[in-house]
Amino acid sequence: MIPPIARRFVAGESVPEALDHVRACNEDGIAVVVNLLGEHYDSPADARADVDAYLSLLDDIADSGLDACVSVKPSQIGLDVSSDLFEEHYREIVARAHERDAFVWCDMEGADTTDATLDAFESIAADYPWSVGQCVQSNLRRTREDLERLVDVPGAIRLVKGAYDEPASIAYEERSRVDEAYREDLRFLFERRDRGVAVGSHDPAMISLADRLAREHGTDYEVQMLMGVREDAQRDLAAQGVDVVQYAPYGDRWLSYFYRRVRERRENLTFALRAVAGR
């Protein structure tokens, strides 16, 4: 059983629990990206098991009629085995989503996975247009070039600041510089795209900027936030007519995910303790 202190950030251990969480979010006007917890498999069998779980989950979501999609991690579906296995599995999952009128996001992991991940996204989006989306991290120095490459790809782009501890030679380290890069990347996407922009941020300043840019350029966009973080703001934005999507993980590998959330921001621990106290 997931203790209350972690349950704030994890939508249960089973698919039925995850779908119940989606249903509750949908009642508040919030869509959900569902992620099965798991990463860094060096066994093809482990990767295959999670691929099968995602195929089944896509069917469950389609049959339920809920407003949800899925998100996978490259190292979860085979990248630590080989880039070919990763792309094969990634393509299989997106093909099922395309068949069921569903959608697949692919998370971005460490910088050493960026090339293989973007190569696969570009190839798969060409075959299954607008059935797939890719996360991109603004803290990497290479990201503007990546966005110029991807801007015309028929797939969505989720822009995040980036949470991986990368060396200064390839990534911005100062928070102010990461914020500057994020703003520049947002402007680029809103200026160059008319759809498929996801603002992956809890930062009110970035969300306000996205709103201004959308009004200026007429670009359709959504705001994506994590389960358990600024959920009042998620509901407020949804009530204002903003397309809000919550990233909600589930599964029995919840402990390491919970600790990551707490390490990222001290406030997250405060949120969790308040949840335990019922406040």
Question: Pairing relation of β-strands 132-137 and 221-226?
Answer: unpaired
Statement: residue 206 has pLDDT above 70: yes
Question: 91, exposed or middle or buried, with CB in 10 Å at 0-12, 13-18, 19+?
Answer: middle
pTM here is: 0.91
Residue 62, SS3 per DSSP: helix
How sure is the predictor about 8, in pLDDT bands with cuts at 50, 70 and 90? confident
Minimum mean pLDDT range among 177-181, 193-197, 221-225, 274-278: 274-278
- Look at the block and give the residue holding tokens 């247009």: 129
How sure is the predictor about 1, in pLDDT bands with cuts at 50, 70 and 90? low
Mean pLDDT value of segment 197-203: 97
Q: Which of 50, 80, 107, 185 is catalytic?
A: 107
235 is catalytic: no
Q: How does pLDDT run across 47-72, given as a tens digit for each residue?
A: 999 999 999 999 999 999 999 999 99
Mean pLDDT value of segment 215-241: 96
Statement: residue 278 has pLDDT above 60: no
In the structure encoding, which two tokens stand for residue 209, read together?
Answer: 């900027």
Tell me, letter by letter, the H, E, C secondary structure of 88-142: HHHHHHHHHHHHCCCCEEECCCCHHHHHHHHHHHHHHHHHCCCCEEEEEECCECC
Mean pLDDT value of segment 208-236: 97
Statement: residue 274 has pLDDT above 50: no
Which contacts qualify for 151-154: CB closer than 8 Å, 24 or more apart?
151/188, 151/189, 151/192, 151/193, 153/121, 153/122, 153/125, 153/126, 154/125, 154/126, 154/129, 154/130
Q: Which of 7, 158, 193, 261 is catalytic?
A: 158
Q: What is the pLDDT of residue 276?
A: 41
Q: What is the pLDDT of residue 216?
A: 98
Mean pLDDT value of segment 168-172: 96
Residue 168 CA to residue 276 CA, distance in Å, equals 38
Q: How does pLDDT run across 99-135, given as a tens digit for each residue?
A: 999 999 999 999 999 999 999 999 999 999 999 999 9
How sure is the predictor about 249, in pLDDT bands with cuts at 50, 70 and 90? very high
Q: How does pLDDT run across 132-149, given as a tens digit for each residue?
A: 999 999 999 999 999 999
107 is catalytic: yes
Amino acid identity, position 193: R
